[in-house]
Amino acid sequence: MNILEYRIPHQTVDFLLENFSGRPEEVQVLDVACGSGWVANLMVELGFKHFVGVDGSQGMLDQAAKTGLYKELKLALLGTEPLPARTGVFDVVMIVGALRPGFVPVSVIRELCLAAKPGGYVCMSRNGLESESGNEYKVSLEAELQLMEEEGLWSHVTTKETDRYMIDMYKYCDGVQSDKYSHGTMYLYRKARQ
């Protein structure tokens, strides 16, 4: 395990599986902010086989390509460029760890929903580092999630808080060991069948 004990990829994949019924080997997965392919590696162990990855870093995409898991990898700086994914085709859209200020703006959530096929799932996780943004990003994100539900774009399946997202470097460096982890939130929505 790395120095920050980054647990959320495992937790988010488990969270999805707790609420997903389907044949993993047939599922089309869009892995947004895929990084080096960690989430896809975890999902392959559970029988998933079909991945498209998107990331804002060519270096990360090069690492993801080395896994051999992705049929396509696309470079895009989310929020400034459109999500480079076909609309309405993915059974599962995953975004793990990138929903935070300076990485992926809240406006991208609608693009994730568009990429999912009718009845498909959008599974998201976000870090709750108070040192980064206070509660502002979370409030804005959750307002957008609710608005999209009110508009009939998707329905809320479940939300789960985790208190062991990863080590909070600010707390860790201060030597506070009793509560050194940052918390996080995982969200699961299902696109309307229309």
Cα distances (angstroms) measured from residue 136 to each of 29, 72, 118, 169: 30, 34, 31, 20
Residue 182: pLDDT band with limits 50, 70, 90: low
pLDDT above 50: residue 3: no
127-152: average pLDDT: 82
**How crowded is residue 158: how many other Cβ atoms within 10 Å of its Cβ?**
11
pTM over 0.95: no
Q: Which amino acid is located at 70 in the chain? A: Y
111-138: average pLDDT: 84
50-74: average pLDDT: 97
Summarize pLDDT for 74-102 with one digit per residue, the tens: 999 999 999 999 999 999 999 998 888 88
Q: What is the mean pLDDT of the chain?
A: 86
Residue 133: pLDDT band with limits 50, 70, 90: low
Q: What percent of the chain shows pLDDT beyond 70? A: 82
pLDDT above 90: residue 165: no
Summarize pLDDT for 118-130 with one digit per residue, the tens: 999 999 998 765 5
127-134: average pLDDT: 58
pLDDT of residue 102: 81
Cα distances (angstroms) measured from residue 171 to each of 102, 129, 130, 167, 175: 21, 10, 11, 8, 7
Half-sphere exposure of 132 (CA within 13 A, CB side): 17
pLDDT above 60: residue 35: yes
Instruction: Report d(CA 178, CA 42) in Å as an integer.
Output: 29
pLDDT of residue 163: 61
Residue 194: pLDDT band with limits 50, 70, 90: confident
pLDDT of residue 4: 42
More confident residue, 9 or 153: 153
Structural domains of the chain, with CATH: 8-84+108-191 (3.40.50.150)
